[in-house]
A and B are shown apart, each in its own frame.
Chain A
Amino acid sequence: MADTHQGETRRDFLYIATAAVGAVGAASAVWPFVDQMNPAADVLALASIEFDTATVTEGMAVTVKWRGKPVFVRHRTPDEIEKARAVPLADLPDPAADATRALKPEQLIVVGVCTHLGCVPLGQKPSDPRGDYGGWFCPCHGSHYDTAGRIRKGPAPKNLVVPDYQYVSDTVVRIG
């Protein structure tokens, strides 16, 4: 057999090329089976919702379902806004000025999921306990949120999340 050195190199190259092409093929074949677990088109289509804030009167709160989670829309009273603004940032575990918490001060929109372990805090209904700071109170492990949805006391590390939203008209917001 004429197994010259050159022949061997060519053979090694062939093996490596075949294996490399095979690896590329296998990797691309895996992708559809991974991607199928990502949100499907009908789920993504519901990823943003529109909500008319005019339906929420002053002092009231409404819970909207968005991406499978509750979103709290609260029409804050001037008193509540004032209370939220008066707090020195240094007193906050997760400092954030009230102005950064809402596009329109009277309408506070936050994701109603406690940043501790994912429970839904109380405080939407007038009869609910609202915690020591007049916002929301998470019954699971006792986190207190203020009227801007900021964490004030308890184990939760962060403020309630403000979702991406924009006003598409004077009162209608698109969340997501």
Chain B
Amino acid sequence: MAAKFENSIVRWIDHRLPIFTFMHHELHEYPTPKNLNYWWNFGSLAGIALVIMLISGITLAMHYTPHVDYAFDSVERIMRDVNYGWLIRYIHMNGASFFFIVVYIHIFRGLYFGSYKAPRELLWMLGVVIMLLMMATAFMGYVLPWGQMSFWGATVITNLFSAIPVVGESIVTWLWGGFAVDNPTLNRFFSLHYLLPFVIIGVVVLHLVALHRFGSNNPLGVDIKSAKDQIPFHPYYTVKDAFGLGVFLIVFSAVVFFAPNFFGEPDNYIPANPLVTPAHIVPEWYFLPFYAILRSIPDKLGGVLFMFGSIAVLFILPWLDRSPVRSGQFRPIFKIFFWILVVDVVALTYFGGKPAEGWYVIGSRFATAYYFIHFLLVLPLLSIFETPRQLPKSISEPVLGGGAGLAGAATAPRENDR
């Protein structure tokens, strides 16, 4: 049904280019479960984080010089001479960390509430693709300031590909454009770091198309059954998301203005030196779980395979967890294992930041083992043996005998006519 617009100009445009109908459809008519909690804020927050990164990144690129002789100095010039350069760079630098915080919370929300289950498998897989693209972008972005960590991070990570049998060495040389990380590497990383965010936008659009096909999952994990269960996205979730954004910006500003180097490594304020490796090379915190998995396998190729495997299991997750119940709220045993997984990933993050010696190695091996056991063993078995609690009939009706879910008559604010 075509939307009716009062404004004649809007009507004129919409008749020829139905963007207003589209927006009306996706924002106003788009039925959203009325029971989404604050964990559902992180999706839109991730989108806003992407926009913040794009704007700050494009402005930084106006002043940055991708050349080994000038890169470090051009960043310092941004910090010291460019108007508000310090602010924009600190926004970009910390924005990366916050983007990952938001996305990781978004992912764990999906894990807990079973948002990857049918019919949202592709939605989930597209999300994993976005995460991979974000990782590639963040990695290449970290190389650009051309500090010690930039250089050695680039060296270590690109060397991962040398683990590939036969062609590994040629691939690494190809990635570098030389025989070590050098100017050609910096130039292509800058080019790709600028490009990939736009690829991310493309995948985000697909992510949203897939989302709008069946709408949001919800904390109860039951589908929308009637108009009583749903509310229009706007204004209910726009204002809720805006409030969440406000809270996010407060935390973000606190770091940007008062502890801008909190997530950073002091070594990256030393210009890159190909002849001296810093004593402790640590990747950025958001790579630490994967770095811990990489180091916990005492074999070069094995480590690389397990690291990529840790993301690959996420791709097949919808087929590992066969339980028909989506929400972890109704899965008493799953719930326990979910929290073990959270602790496990936190532990991996911790071990990844510690030197690979003594107890840390043993700890990270156990943590790695559990990570894979959780996805490959625990989830498939749970789907067979776990008895879920009884599901509510619908979002607006409580579980039989459940009590106070429904207080007063719920008025669906808007009839949905689809």
Contacts and interface: CB of A to CB of B under 8 A. Distances in A.
In this complex, which of A32, A36, A37, A41 has the most chain B Cβ atoms within 10 angstroms of its Cβ?
A36
B63 interface: yes
Interface in B44-85: 55-56, 59, 62-63, 77, 80-85
A100 interface: no
How big is chain A's contact interface, by range?
10 to 19
B204 interface: no
A37 B78 CA distance: 11
B81 A36 contact: no
How big is chain B's contact interface, by range?
10 to 19
B87 interface: yes
Contacts of A37: 59, 62
In this complex, which of A31, A33, A38 has the most chain B Cβ atoms within 10 angstroms of its Cβ?
A33
A40 B63 CA distance: 10
Taking chain B's interface residues, is the majority helix, strand, or loop, or is none over half, making it mixed? helix
A5 B224 CA distance: 35
A33 B83 CA distance: 9
B55 A33 contact: yes
Nearest to A32: B84
A150 B324 CA distance: 87
B74 to A, nearest CB: 11
B77 A32 contact: no
A131 to B, nearest CB: 40
A3 interface: no
Contacts of A36: 59, 62-63, 82-85, 88
Interface string A42-83: 110000000000000000000000000000000000000000
B55 to A, nearest CB: 6
B77 A40 contact: yes
Interface in B201-239: none
Contacts of A164: none
Interface string B24-60: 0000000000000000000000000000000110010
Contacts of A43: 81
Contact of A42 (B59, B81, B84, B88): B81
Contact of A32 (B63, B80, B87, B242): B87
B59 A40 contact: no
B55 A40 contact: no
Contacts of B82: 36, 40-41
A22 B81 CA distance: 30
A33 B59 CA distance: 7
A79 to B, nearest CB: 47
A22 to B, nearest CB: 8
Contacts of A170: none
A35 interface: yes
Nearest to B235: A15
B78 to A, nearest CB: 9
A36 B79 CA distance: 11
Given A35-B84, A37-B59, A40-B63, 4 more contacts: A32-B83, A36-B62, A38-B83, A41-B83
A50 to B, nearest CB: 21
A41 B80 contact: yes
A43 B77 CA distance: 11
